Amino acid sequence: MPERRLEVLLHADGGPSIGAGHVVRCLALAEELHARGHGATLVGHVEGALLREGLRATGTQHVPLSRDEPPGPALARLAEERGADVVHVDRYDVGELVEALEGGPLLTTTYDGPHGVRAAHLSFDPTLGAEHDPPPHKGPALRGVRFAPLRRGVTARRGEPRDATGDRLRVLVVMGGTDARGLLPRVLELLGASGHPLDVVAVDPTATGPVVTDHGSARVTRVPPDPDIAALLAGRDLVVSAAGTSVLELLCLGVPAALVQVVENQRTGYDRVLSAGAAFGLGDLGDTGDLAAARAVLAEALTDEGLRDAVAARGRRLVDGLGAWRVVGAWEHLAGRAQRPATEDGLEARDATLDDAATLLGWRNDPSTRSASRSTAEVGAEEHRRWLEASLGRDDRHLLVVRDGAAELGTVRWDRDEAGEWEVSITVAPEHRGRGLAAGVLAAGERALLEREPGAVTLLAAVHVDNAASRRLFAATGWTPDLPADDDGFVRLLKQPRTA
């Protein structure tokens, strides 16, 4: 159970005509909130049987809003009535809300690239590659696909094997909740003209029941939209999909995907998934689209099983399915907690030298330091000196000593991993503990890293679940959970610097 129960209002509008993805993301967050003992209420308009079924299945309370009442005052009123700790907004069109909620709950928001940016205490951009984008000017943000909330029905099927026993490739076509541009017939035409024996299931918003037809070499079964779309997606040889929010579900599942860019606000995500080699790109299949290029890409996707497997594996590595866990973890860390200042007057970090060997060894072998480390054994002087010499010559490590004038207060070490992310280790000198210096030492280390590595966008920390002081330190300085505790009891925390 969490330290305390949170009450969260999730604000989104969604339905067949206004984009279901925003509500689906909120329902994924509601599932995670319920699983962790918190309360969740969806506030807004929910249209269509599929979304209403999602509400029912997750047990999430629903409060519709009057279209005559501005969202800001309505959310402020509901937050006060329900004692909300967090108000989370996943809509593009509601404008600013901070003033309406001033002095009330933690306000967080989801945006997608340039769409939906607004002032908030914390924002999330789950777009693939967003961690490399400048954060919005509106305030602190956590960026990247690791923060994409996915439904548990999807994550539970992650990596489900495909059935390779049939003589036809199993293809699913899903062009969004309404197929607003009417592209389904064109996709089926392309599949039928491919010349490959295909067993195609096509999600057709106009269908009321299964209808089987032939399109060239493809046997097509049209089916109505299904609330358990993950069951349809998992195990397919190929999924042809609109490049909306469901793409991340495909990547998480590890299903080979061929994407169609249906609307302009899908362009950034579409381009980045293709650049990562995590999907096939069919482009725009409208009247101005390049159908010849789409046919060539589709032929490659249908004929090369090894390529399909490689594309699916890249997608699965990109999306681990823990986005909802991370967002709710951030709320647990930040709701109701004042943030400490990010700076400490007079503290500076310098690069360590061999002259620091004895000092660093004494700090490293201090019993309190060892008890909080992965390696708890004492280190000998010669072993430590060899380690220090090697560390000072590495370009993937920065070893720093933090000072206050002439006094040396502690050390901060940064190590770069294969993904280009930097993990921190921090030690406050034993003689200076108990003075509240840890936050300043950490802040000085962060500033020094960004001076040396201006391209650093994601910082990591491993903290043992029993180390309450360190967990409080990182929570109070803007770090949020990134991975659950491992077998040794270490949780991983994350921070994305505002200057990235």
Measured distance CA(310)–CA(308) in Å, rounded: 5
Q: Residues 490, 463: contact at Cβ < 8 Å? A: yes
Residue % of the chain over a pLDDT of 70: 95
Across-strand partners of 112?
A: 115
Tell me the pLDDT of the chain averaged across its residues: 89
Lateral strand order in the sheet of 257-260:
211-215, 218-223, 198-203, 169-174, 238-242, 257-260, 280-283
CB-based contacts of 93, cutoff 8 Å, min separation 6? none
The pLDDT of residue 482 = 97
Could you tell me the two tokens for 161? 């094997």
Q: Residues 106, 86: contact at Cβ < 8 Å? A: yes
- What is the SS3 string spanning 390-404? HHHCCCCEEEEEEEE
The mean per-residue pLDDT over the stretch 252-261 comes to 94
pLDDT tens, position by position, 16-51: 555 688 999 999 999 999 999 999 999 998 887 778
- Whether 471 shows a pLDDT value over 70: the answer reads yes
The pLDDT of residue 289 = 77
- Whether 176 shows a pLDDT value over 90: the answer reads no
The pLDDT of residue 500 = 45
Measured distance CA(350)–CA(408) in Å, rounded: 10
What are the chain's domains? Answer: 7-150+322-334 (3.40.50.11190), 160-318 (3.40.50.2000), 347-495 (3.40.630.30)
CA atoms lying within 13 Å on the CB side of residue 241: 25
Q: Residues 422, 497: contact at Cβ < 8 Å? A: no
Amino acid, single-letter form, for residue 382: E
The mean per-residue pLDDT over the stretch 80-108 comes to 90
The pLDDT of residue 309 = 94
Predicted TM-score (pTM) of this structure? 0.89
pLDDT tens, position by position, 407-429: 999 999 999 999 999 999 999 99
The mean per-residue pLDDT over the stretch 54-61 comes to 89
**Which residue is listed with tokens 């693939």?**
128
